[in-house]
Structure 1
Amino acid sequence: MTEDLRSGTPKLVGVVWGLLILNTLGSAGAKTIVPLPRSLIQLVTMGALVAAFTLALALNLRLRIRPSAFVLLLTLLLVPSLISSLQLESGLGALFRCTRLALFVATLWLLSRWWNGDLTFVRHHIRMYFAVLASVAAGLVVSPGAAMPELYGGRLVGALWPLTPPQIGQYAAVIIGLTVLLVLGRRADRTSATVVIVPSLVLLALTHTRTATIGMLIGLVLAIGSLVLTSAAARRFFTWAVLVAVVAAVGFASALRTWFLRGQSQENLTSLTGRAKVWDALLAEPRTTGEKLFGMGLGDKSFGGLPIDNSWLAVYHEQGWIGVTLVAAVFAVLGGVALLRPPSLPRACAIFLISYCAIASYTEAGLGDASPYLLHLALAASLLAVPAPPAPPLKPVVPRRHVPRWAKEGR
């Protein structure tokens, strides 16, 4: 089996990670150039998850796993998900989503064997999401009208694969942040980093995704801040970034405000594009004690036919207060471990991912089900894992020399 010589991780582990990313791309989005039936997309994404689990099992037949509080909490999250979904208030689809979440978590358990606190999975993460963004860019080139439809206010969508502007913005923001950190840590050369960062910045700007942009900036500030005391490159970058931010705020204030508002009124912005009305209605919905504790079952993250667009309220609606407590514990554990680790590049990458997911959770759903956000947090968990101790060297077996019988008798 071929392995990455730098990390000792089989190269096929990267394939498993890519299949998990493919599974979490989703099946709902804009109209594509070539119409793709939703059933076909769901077959591809679910097939990718089954393939990921099968391949991970083949690579880890002895079921060697590493202790992981993160994956353990996700395993516990299956309990309220299953209890509430068995009531079938959300239909048979709830049980299907429970099965999907169980396979997702089981695959993470199998991959935990190779979580050693190195940057192997970071590179897999960047490569796969950059490939997704390349498909978005290809769709923009082939059909600009389909890639920036009026239905989404002229924001960039996936024209080859149905991706929404928030999805594209999320993928671009995450790989930009991780690539910047790799450059500061001298783990990536500037040429290859430019190839990733510049197109991703363009796509992020075309999506007009405020949450992704704010999450990326705050995440980078926190991550680079964790390196300032130990990295001269981080100090220089932080200084220049502050100067550029001041100049941009003064010289391009009008353009930045226009981009941020996206043509919306101040009232619409205050209500978070109508999200607040859905949130108020969800919280006002009468619920039984069981529904408050375990939720209504895994659904499509909507309430009254409208998207919830808040991870905490979506978890409360589908998995109850128990689910909210477990998701909060995930952030508490990952954040606590990150603060206790000594300054390092893997720690900085983990801080970026944790802070980005925490910020995005306010206007995006996904922390209670198989989603890119759980993959980002899984990557953070792999970066915070303590390297496994090296296996002790095997003692050479010295063959016993044959001693004649007469020698034993002293003759």
Structure 2
Amino acid sequence: MGGDLRHSGLTGGADTERTRPGAEARAAGTPKTVGVVWGLLILNTLGSAGAKTIIPLPRSLIQFVTMGALVAAFTLALALNLRLRVRSSAFLFLLTLLLVPSVLSSLQLESGLGALFRCARLMLFVGTLWLLSRWWDGLTFVRHHIRMYFAVLGSVAAGLVVSPGAALPELYGGRLVGALWPLTPPQIGQYAAVIIGLSVLLVLGRRTDRASAAVVIVPSAVLLALTHTRTATLGLLVGLTLAIGSLVLTSAAARRFFTWAVLCAAVAATVFAGALRAWFLRGQSQENLTSLTGRATVWDALLAAPRTTVETLFGVGLGDKSFGGLPIDNSWLAVYHEQGLTGIALVAAMLLVLGGVALLRPPSLPRACAIFLISYCAIASYTEAGLGDASPYLLHLTVAAALLAAPATATPLPAPEPPRRHVPRWARDRR
């Protein structure tokens, strides 16, 4: 499970770990099927609710595809890891503990039978992550992450080209949505921001060339701008600032990039102040912006709702992250509503463990990528739900945990036995 960090392109290149010939024979080699499993997990977390697509897709069909992807991912991961060899992980242990309040609260059936179905989904999701932990290997999952989400953004771009009207509907205020698969602007903005940040860090760490990174960064940045997603943009900027800051003392490229980024930001803030302000406001009033586009109203109602002691501790069961028919759009309140204070404690512990380990690691590219992902998820948790259930945010944090995992040492190869000299029979008889 040694690092498979590569120089050329996002698709990989020459091995930089200088592994001895024959080291590929060790049991922890990373099969290509692991990337397929990761893609199926991403497909499962795309969701089934969103904008109207060019070809109407029944929600039951979308749910069948997404759940089928999860079952296929678990089956493939189990087939790859029949001996159930896993890597110890405090993050996955805490995520597994999150199943306890999820199941206990869902058994009350306050959220209906759908809560038990969502618990089963979360169990399969967590089980698949455990099975994949055997192959936590340097930047391997970062590359899988970029490839898969870039493919998702490719479908969004294709929908924009085929039907601009459907991809930029008035219902969403002209913001970009998925016209081929029902994706909302915040989803698209999240995917774009994450792969932009990771690609920038790979360039700074010289794990890919600039041309290959530009193929990912430029179109993703255009799609991010078209979504007008403030949370994703803020998460990208803050996450990159923290990640690059962790490399400044050890990387000249990081120092140059940081300096140029600050200068460009200052110029843009001066020259394009009006345009940036208009993009940020999205045509909303100051009052609407202060209430976080109506989110604060839902949050206040959720916190004011009466709860029993059991509901306060364990929640009301896994649901669709809504309250009173309106989306909660806050990970902490969604976890409080569905998994109670116990769930909040476990989710907070996951972030604190990952953040603490990242701070203790020496400066490196994997550490910087992990810092970016952790900080992005922490920022997005204020206006997006997902930290307590199977979601892209848990996949981001899993990639961060894989980056922070202690590197495995290659199993020493046995020394070859010296060839035996052939002694003729007549010589043996004389002896």
Shorter-normalised TM range: over 0.9
Q: Give 3-state SS (helix, strand or coil) of 1:157's partner.
A: coil
1:360 pairs with 351, 373, 380, which one?
380
User: Does the alignment pair 1:33 with 2:54?
Assistant: yes
What is the deviation of 1:409?
12
Counterpart position of 1:259: 279
CA distance in 1 between counterparts of 2:302 and 2:118 reads 21
CA distance in 2 between counterparts of 1:378 and 1:160 reads 28
CA distance in 2 between counterparts of 1:39 and 1:11 reads 31
What is the deviation of 1:408?
11
1:153 pairs with 173, 180, 188, which one?
173
2:305 pairs with 268, 281, 285, which one?
285
What is the deviation of 1:84?
0.3
User: Does the alignment pair 1:88 with 2:109?
Assistant: yes
Percent identity between the two aligned chains: 84
What is the deviation of 1:324?
0.1
User: Does the alignment pair 1:44 with 2:65?
Assistant: yes
What is the deviation of 1:394?
2.4
What is the deviation of 1:188?
1.0
CA distance in 2 between counterparts of 1:355 and 1:132 reads 23
What is the deviation of 1:400?
8.9
Counterpart position of 1:204: 224
1:228 pairs with 234, 245, 248, which one?
248
User: Does the alignment pair 1:62 with 2:80?
Assistant: no
Q: Give 3-state SS (helix, strand or coil) of 1:377's partner.
A: helix
Q: How does 1:6-405 map to 2 (within 5 A)?
A: 6=15, 8-116=29-137, 118-396=138-416
Bigger mean CA offset, 191-200 vs 6-15: 6-15
CA distance in 1 between counterparts of 2:338 and 2:296 reads 18
TM-score, length of structure 1 as denominator length:
0.96
What is the deviation of 1:403?
11
CA distance in 2 between counterparts of 1:225 and 1:402 reads 65
- Which residue type is aligned with residue 76 of structure 1? L
Mark the CA change 1:394 to 1:155 in structure 2 (over 3 Å): closer, same or farther. same
CA deviation profile, 1:57-85 (whole Å, cap 9, x unmatched)? 11111111010011111100000000000
CA distance in 2 between counterparts of 1:304 and 1:190 reads 48
Q: Give 3-state SS (helix, strand or coil) of 1:9's partner.
A: coil
What is the deviation of 1:233?
0.4
CA distance in 1 between counterparts of 2:368 and 2:191 reads 18
Q: Where do 4+ consecutive residues of structure 1 move more than 3 Å?
A: 3-8, 395-404, 407-411
CA deviation profile, 1:264-323 (whole Å, cap 9, x unmatched)? 000000000000000000000110110000000000000000000000000000000000
CA distance in 2 between counterparts of 1:123 and 1:299 reads 32
CA distance in 2 between counterparts of 1:16 and 1:287 reads 40
Q: Give 3-state SS (helix, strand or coil) of 2:363's partner.
A: coil
CA deviation profile, 1:226-249 (whole Å, cap 9, x unmatched)? 000000000000000000010011
CA distance in 2 between counterparts of 1:229 and 1:398 reads 49
- Which residue type is aligned with residue 50 of structure 2? G
Q: Give 3-state SS (helix, strand or coil) of 2:88's partner.
A: coil
What is the deviation of 1:109?
0.4
CA distance in 1 between counterparts of 2:420 and 2:319 reads 68
Q: Give 3-state SS (helix, strand or coil) of 1:215's partner.
A: helix
- Which residue type is aligned with residue 158 of structure 1? G
Q: How many residues of Structure 1 are paired with residues of Structure 2 in the alignment?
A: 408
TM-score, length of structure 2 as denominator length:
0.91
